[in-house]
Structure 1
Amino acid sequence: MSNAKGQDKRVWRGVLVLAIAGVLAGCASGGTQQERHPDDPWEGFNRKMFAFNDVLDRYALKPVARAYRFVTPDPVETGVGNVFSNLGEPRTALNSLLQGKPRNASVATARFLINSTVGVGGLWDVASRLEVTGRKEDFGQTLGAWGWEESRYLVLPLFGPSTVRDAGGQPVDIYSYPTTYIEDDGTRLGLTALRLVDTRAGILDQEALIQGDRYSFVRDAWLQQRRFEVSDGELGDDPFASDEFNFDDGDFDDAFAD
């Protein structure tokens, strides 16, 4: 695996770990009220959404993800993740152009063409083997590049950690994902469900990363990671580049980005 590929996987999977952590973690444990976080003025509402997501995960998503991992051979699980990651490349290309990054747009386009053809629909990440790698981009990052750099933290039902800016960008992200245009409702919803379950299965081993007040841990780490992405790393080192957050133990890229 190339260094660029490893960095991309750490960054993106780090975001997903923290996003799904919003589904994993319930209300923070009782104790002394902490000082209000400047980026989280709606903490009361956000904690309630945190708890709501936890119930859904505990009784629905997590058991299905465990069953999926149990019955799915590792190569198949890797291939499924690669397919969904490949389908995210058009979104990266679009947002790269909107941000004035033609080189990254061309890389995303090349990755999509290579993996869709030589990689048999994206089952194999041939582009990364050829060291054709770039940064993932979404419309929330585009809004950040256009000047909306800071935004209030917001926990969304079902989707988990976000900000007002990123939540506003989700419709564009949804409509720039190819499966949205599948006309058959059953096929479209089935693929969406598979993508969600595959993503959840990919982070079953990472839940131990959440420590202490889990709500605060998720919020602070997610905001730090998101600032890193929006600034293209200009605000400091990748917070998920250390050994503590080494997620290179499996192929898992963009299965949940929507």
Structure 2
Amino acid sequence: MSPLTLQTKVSDIVTAIPQAADIFRALRIDFCCGGKIPLEEAAKKRGHDPEAVLGRITELETKLAECRDTRPGELAEPELVQYIQTKHHAFLREELPALTPYVTKLARVHGERHPELLRVQELFAALKQELLEHTEDEDRNVFPLVLKFVENPDPEASEQLKPHMTELEREHEQAGSLLKELREITGDFLPPADACGTYKLVYRRLAALEKDTFEHIHLENNVLFERMRAAV
């Protein structure tokens, strides 16, 4: 997509940056049915400074790009833990609650014609609970043990850490199973031909959630935990 300007259509911005929908939603700018107008016009309709709105979206775009450009697998353990927390954990804590009302609305409005959306809502709710509890456990309990072990990799610290890593890997499998069913039931996150803007938005963001979660799991299972096991 070309650089964003005041003349970029609101709907095109959300297509390119799905998380921008949260900004528009907070500002009461219609990105769905009324999204086929330039950002400048849409912002003025709601009494907002178009330049300020564009600035917020550009800032979001830059933040997302910076996350993609980092090579976390090359980071030392303390920096890798910090990366996981600031990118993946922060993303989940922001995205899961933010996406919830869209999933709820989609199931409510279109669930009768598309009953699979009711299952999508159930799977998303289970995934949300699983991932938020999982990240809380990592931040409060597991990552402090990882950092303690990195500082002093003795057998006692290793024994403290091992059952936590095993449990986290089991939880990763559970989250992966939920995501697998989400992908299957949505036909690879492909909305129907007559899908509205909210329908498309939810599927794009579920696909982005899947991508981020699998990257998250990879860094923990295949990089961080493998290093911990190899250190003793």
Q: TM-score, normalised by structure 2?
A: 0.31
- Return the index of the structure with the highest Cα Rg: 2
Bigger helix share? 2
Which structure has more relative contact order (CA 8 Å, sep 6+)? It is 1
Q: TM-score, normalised by structure 1?
A: 0.28
